[in-house]
Amino acid sequence: MLNHSPFAIRHSQVTHALAPCHSPAFLKSRHATTMNRIDQRFADLRAAGRCGLIPFVTAGDPGAEATVPVMHALVEAGADLIELGVPFSDPMADGPTIQRSSERALARGVGLRKVLSMVAEFRRTDATTPVVLMGYLNPLEIFGYERFADAAHAAGVDGVLMVDSPVEEAGELTLLLARHGIEQIFLAAPTTADQRLAQVVERARGFLYYVSFAGITGADRIAMGDVTDKVAAIRAATRTPVAVGFGVKAPEQAAGIARFADAVVVGSALVEHLAPHAEPAAAAAAARAFLGPLRAAIDAARARSAA
């Protein structure tokens, strides 16, 4: 845990040595000439004193033709980054809402290739909003890591968060993505031990996704005081932005997180809100209606903190 020293997660504590080509310095050097869209967005947010808002939607749900319109609608409503879920048959970290959305998307024939084509379509009219693919390793392993890294870069993907890709085992994928300037995003949770958290913080690029409680997505158990302390300790040890998610359902929760985190992630509540609206225009309208109040609450919370 992080409750005994703000520097409990120093590099000297990392016991799993990194090979030179997987080292943080090497990975950072891959981005020396161009800034990833994620890094640029968080730099802009920091300069403006704003908290980021990161909505998650499952690609292909509530409808295959609705995904790209929903992505654009979320940006219009104030999204700073978008997490796009890659449908998978066994999403072990996800609750019933996202599990069902994956099932519906798979039933519509939406797999990794289709997800990448959706990102490419989104990029035709939005060249600035970062897109992070979130999912599980199995579809990438079938596709091939190197082939996936090439295809993700060509489509316009900025980050990849694989729930079952722990930092200790991510070397090959991290390196292949880094060659294209794509960030691999890692998770940390309240149960993450100091020694392992040291590795996560040291390797974190783009942003670090802090899970607000140990459990599945969509549950409602955020203990704001505990999360505040943990995120403060992490932020004291790294300049990488920290986004907090799992269990965010309402503007009030988003506002509370905005007071201490660099970004708020909302997923299950949005997916559930979109589910009845398979028609693209209706889905886009529902996305705007859901996200707008969260954006307003986050901005108001930051304004009060700055006053």
- Pick from 203, 155, 163, 154: which is nearest to 183 by CA? 203
Average pLDDT on 238-256 reads: 93
Q: Establish whether 279 is a catalytic residue.
A: no
CA-CA-CA-CA dihedral for 89, 212, 297, 241, to nearest 10: -90
The whole-number pLDDT of residue 193 equals 85
Please pick, among 39, 61, 80, 94, the residue that the annotation labels catalytic: 94
Please pick, among 39, 61, 80, 83, the residue that the annotation labels catalytic: 83
Question: Above 70 in pLDDT, residue 67?
Answer: yes
Q: Establish whether 83 is a catalytic residue.
A: yes
Average pLDDT on 27-31 reads: 45
Q: Which structure tokens are listed for 15?
A: 């016991």
Question: For the chain, which residues make up each domain, given as ranges?
Answer: 18-306
Structural fold of domain 18-306: TIM Barrel (3.20.20)
What confidence tier does 223 reach under pLDDT thresholds 50, 70, 90? low
Chain segment 264-304, per-residue pLDDT in tens: 999 999 999 999 999 999 999 999 999 999 999 999 999 99
HEC readout, the chain: CCCCCCCCCCHHHCCCCCCHHHCHHHHHHCCCCCCCHHHHHHHHHHHHCCCEEEEEEECCCCCHHHHHHHHHHHHHCCCCCEEEECCCCCCCCCCHHHHHHHHHHHHCCCCHHHHHHHHHHHHCCCCCCCEEEEECHHHHHHHCHHHHHHHHHHHCCCEEEECCCCHHHCHHHHHHHHCCCCEECEEECCCCCHHHHHHHHHHCCCCEEEECCCCCCCCCCCCHHHHHHHHHHHHHHCCCCEEEECCCCCHHHHHHHHCCCCEEEECHHHHHHHCCCCCHHHHHHHHHHHHHHHHHHHHHHHHHHHC
Question: Above 80 in pLDDT, residue 74?
Answer: yes
What residue has token string 């060509």?
Answer: 154
**What's the rounded Cα separation, in Å, for the pair 203 and 59?**
28
What does pTM read for this prediction? Answer: 0.87
